[in-house]
Amino acid sequence: MTFLLTLLAAIFVLGPLIALHEWGHYIVARLCGVKVLTYSIGFGPKIAGWTSKKSGIDYRISALPLGGYVKMLDEREGEVAADEQHLAFNRQHPLKKIAIVAAGPIMNFVIAIGLFWVLFMTPSEQLATKIGQVLPDTPAATAQLPVGDKIVAIDGHEVQTWEGINYRLAGRMGETDNISVTLQAGDNAAKTYYAPVDEFMQGDDHGKDALSSFGMLPWQPTIAPIVGELTPDGAANRQGLKVGDRITAINDVAIADWISATRIIRDNPETLLNFTVLREGKPVQLAIMPQGKKDNLGNDFGQIGAMVAQSEIVIPEDYKTTVVYGPGESLVKSFEKTEQLAVMTVSSMGKMLSGMIGLDNLSGPITIAKVAKQSFDISWQMVLSTAALISLSLAVLNLLPIPVLDGGHIVYHLIELIRGKPLSEGVQMAGLNIGLLLLAGFMVLAIGNDISRLF
C-alpha cells in the first residue's frame, strides 16, 4: 500500500511538471511554424492516447514515466515531402530552434516562480528567527552567538524565516570559510558575527541538516525527559527502560529536556549509550543501543522506541511571527527564491564534480517519489513547495550544456547561429553519444544512491 501511495504521489507531482515542460516545447514549435508529429508523456510503448483529426498530432501517454518528448517533422529523421520542408525543424532559423528548445526549461522556471508566488501570498504563522538554542562544539558556539537575538541576515542576505536561513546555510555545504550571521537584539543596532566552518556539513556532520550542523536552532519547547510510552519491539523496552523513568544523563551528558535526549539518540545509531534514569527517586544505569534507521534521503539515525507523554505546547509570543506578503512583493520574493535555489543547485553540482561534497548527495527518481509522498503527509503547502523545487531542478538539469539535454541542443544551435551553418551530422552524433553516456552514468549513480538509502 505504501508503495502504491508513493507511486501515486510521484505521478501527481511529476506528471504535470513533465507535461508542462513538453507543452513549452510543443506550443513554441507550433508558434514558430514547425509541424509537430507526436506529443508524448513518458517514453517507450504507447499505452493510451489519441490522434487529432485536425492537426494529425499523436497525443500519447507512454509506458516509461521518466520524462517525455515532442517529435517534430525533421529531415534528419526521415523523408519529408517537398511541400512540407518549410515546416521541418531542421529548416528553421537558429533563433527559432533555440526558442523551441529553451521553452521547456523556461516553462519549468515559470512553474516554480508561480508556485512560490502562491506560497508567499499564503499567510503563515511561523517561529520568529530568534535563536532558541546554540549547540556546543559547533560553529555557532565558536562564534558565541547569543541566544534570544534575532537573525536578520546570513552572509549579508536578508532572511525572514528559518527556511530562508536553512537554504542560505545549505548553500555553503562543503566549504571551509567563515559564515557571517547578522543579529539584532530588540531595538539595538544589528551586529555581525563570523562563524568558522571546516568542510561544512561533511565528515561527522554528513547527513545532518544545515541548522544542526551550524549549531543554531529555533525555539523549542522544554519538555521534561520522562518516558510516557514504549513500543514493544523497541530497543528501550528490550533493554530495561520503563514508563515513568526520567532520563537525567546519556554518556555522562546531563539531560534537562526531551529534545536534548532525542538529539543524542538520533545522532548515535547502532552505538551503545549509557543512560542514567531516575526511577522511583533512585538512579538506575542502563545500556541501550539505538536501532539504526534511514530517513527519506538515506541518512542514518538512531531510534529506541520511547515516546514522551503528550502535553500541550505553548509558544511564547515573542518567538512567534506572522509572515504575509502582498501580490507584488510575493512575486518579487518568488523570483528571488528561484534565482537563489537555481544558483545553489548549480553550485552544488560543481562542488560534487570538484569533490568538495560527496556524489552520494545526488538523488534519483526513488528519492523524489518518497519526498513527494512525504509532502502529501504534511500539508498542501508542502506539496506545492516540493513541486516547485522539483520543477526548478528539472529546469536547471535540462539547461546543462550536455548533448542530448536541452542545454546541449542550445549550444549546437548557438554554434550554428555564429557559423552560419550547423555542425556536421558526424560531430553532432558524436556529441549526442557522449551525452547519452554521461546521462546514463549520472542516472546509474543517482538510482544507486537511491537504492543504498533504502538499506
DSSP string, 133-196: EE-TTSHHHHTTPPTTPEEEEETTEE--SHHHHHHHHHTTTT--EEEEEEEE-TTSPPEEEEEE
Q: For residue 21, list its beta bridge partners.
A: none
| Active-site residue, from 22, 77, 329, 339 | 22
Contact 91, 72 (CB under 8 A): no
Grid cell locating 123: 499567510
- List the grid coordinates of 59: 497525443
Beta-strand relationship, 177-184 and 191-197:
antiparallel
User: Are residues 169 and 211 in contact, defined by beta-carbon separation less than 8 angstroms?
Assistant: yes
Write down the residue that cell numbers 546531563 correspond to.
254
* Radius of gyration, CA atoms only, the chain: 27
**Cell 530562508, residue?**
164
Q: Could you tell me the CA-to-CA distances from 331 to 168, 327, 395 in Å, in that order?
A: 20, 6, 19
User: Coil, helix or strand for 224?
Assistant: coil
Amino acid found at 12:
F
Our answer to whether residue 317 is catalytic in this structure is no
Residue 25 backbone phi and psi in degrees, to 5 = -60, -45
Cα-based torsion angle of the residue sequence 28, 34, 36, 41 in order, rounded to the nearest 10 degrees: -30
Q: Find residue 322's DSSP bridge partners.
A: 125
Which residues, at least 6 apart from 189, have a Cβ–Cβ distance to it below 8 Å?
A: none
Neighbours of 424 (CB within 10 A): 9
CA 338 – CA 331 distance, rounded (Å): 11
Residue 43 cell numbers, joined: 517514453
Which are the catalytic amino acids? Answer: 22
